[in-house]
Amino acid sequence: MTTLQKQKIVIALIGSRGDIQPGLALGQALTQRGHEVTIATTKGFNALITPYGLNVVEIADVSLDDIIYSPEGKALISKTRGKPLVYAMQLIKLLKPNMFTAFAKLTDLCEGQDALVHNNLVVFADDIAQKLAIPAYSLASQPPNVKVATDKNKLGFKFKTFTRTKVMNVVINKLANEFRKNLLQLKKTALFKDKLKNKTTLLAVSDLVCKDDFGQQYIKTGFMYGQNLSQEVVPIALVEFLSPDFSTVCITFGAMVPGNVDQASALLSAAVKQLPYQFVFISSWIKLDDDVDNAFVIPSVSHEWLLPKVDAFVHHGGAGTTAAALRAGVANFVCPFIADQPYWGRCVYALGIGPEAVPFNQLTEQVLVDKVKELITTVSFKDKATEMAQLIEAQNGAVVASMHIEEDLLRRD
């Protein structure tokens, strides 16, 4: 039987913590299988990456969040609220200078490598791979958009999604053609080309949770989790705050920021005051009332460390956050904002590990109070979450994805 020799593989990852983590788990699995892996990402993730023991190269000295939540980025959010397509197009213009610099560095990094693995925000990955004549493997943690409709008029949703996808393809491909011409010296591609349409994508989700058929090009590997990680540093103040005498609730909305931060903070403060539990908020925007004495606010902390210690989890339904909650076996309540988040809310509810999702813009003080009480007191939520965690962990999605990459590389050898 032919065996694959040691390969040099770059894994390029851009986005938030949830976008990055599956690629890190994959990198760890590939390293353990004897390959040389380099993580290419933006600044701000050293603390997250260090426990995986992976070589990392920063291809940008700013993160995506740095730009999104800069004064210009915040103004853009405010100006285009309710217009996701306009927002995306304007955001790309804001990102363009950093994109070109980052992807030029990525091109240099991939010289002499055997393969490039990338998440979907690395939009020039296929162009770089074509230039260097190496295979590129797409890694995703979010289901395809056409499958996450929440509108009653699903046909209308699909039409809007189709239209937005076509427009975004044109915008991205125009940029890609500029990059191809000026930096890669390659011919232009068709503006309406959908690079992911027929490309095999390693989808870091479990078929136990996502039962939809996304199409043959999507390979459900199982969720990808790091194994035997050294712990990120946790502030001693948080450790001391957590008391075994109270039920613990963690609340986070990831990178999501509501339109009115003060109003949202007031709602959360009022709800927390009504409940006899201790709360940990993972957020950079939540500002609780001064008289809230049963809550701890921290901008970032390891989900792997915190979630197994809590009794309930309230979150926005991001793919990475949901995956972390499922692994921890914790009852959770989803308050989705956008994109695939309503889909994950429906999955949580269908699995019986939490109540029905409520969009964040429909959340009230009383709804939050009632849902948190329900999370704490409904024994079946915890039981089913624990059972699901065991089943999901056994799938080992990072190893499954590694084996797929190895098999494909062997066929090409």
Average pLDDT, the chain: 87
Q: Is the pLDDT reported for residue 147 higher than 60? A: no
User: Domain 8-222+396-412 sits in which CATH superfamily?
Assistant: Glycogen Phosphorylase B; (3.40.50.2000)
Q: Is the pLDDT reported for residue 54 higher than 90? A: yes
pLDDT at residue 68, as a whole number: 74
Q: Is the pLDDT reported for residue 154 higher than 70? A: no
Q: Is the pLDDT reported for residue 286 higher than 50? A: yes
Hey, what CATH class is 236-393 in? Answer: alpha beta
pLDDT at residue 152, as a whole number: 47
Q: Is the pLDDT reported for residue 97 higher than 60? A: yes
Other Cβ atoms closer than 10 A to 401: 26
The per-residue pLDDT for range 246-264, each reduced to its tens digit, is 999 999 998 788 878 899 9
Q: Is the pLDDT reported for residue 85 higher than 80? A: no
The per-residue pLDDT for range 157-215, each reduced to its tens digit, is 454 555 555 666 777 888 888 889 998 999 988 766 666 666 889 999 999 998 888 88
> 23 CB contacts (<8 Å, ≥6 apart)?
11, 13, 39, 117, 119, 139, 224
Work out the pLDDT band at 149, boundaries 50, 70, 90. very low
Burial class (CB in 10 A: 0-12, 13-18, 19+), 4: middle
Domains of the chain, by residue range, sit at 8-222+396-412, 236-393
Q: Is the pLDDT reported for residue 17 higher than 60? A: yes
The C-alpha atoms of residue 239 and residue 251 are separated, in whole angstroms, by: 17
The per-residue pLDDT for range 341-360, each reduced to its tens digit, is 899 999 999 999 999 999 99
The per-residue pLDDT for range 264-284, each reduced to its tens digit, is 999 999 999 999 999 999 998
Work out the pLDDT band at 29, boundaries 50, 70, 90. very high
Q: At what angle do helices 84-110 and 125-132 cross, to 10 degrees?
A: 30
Work out the pLDDT band at 27, boundaries 50, 70, 90. very high
Give the mean model confidence (pLDDT) for residues 373-392.
96
pLDDT at residue 159, as a whole number: 47
CA 164 centroid distance within chain: 21
pLDDT at residue 172, as a whole number: 80
Q: Which of 233, 251, 390, 394 is nearest to 310 (CA)?
A: 251
- 311 touches 250 (CB < 8 A): no
Residue type, 283: S
The per-residue pLDDT for range 362-379, each reduced to its tens digit, is 999 999 999 999 999 999
**Of 71-85, 105-119, 224-238, the least confident:** 71-85
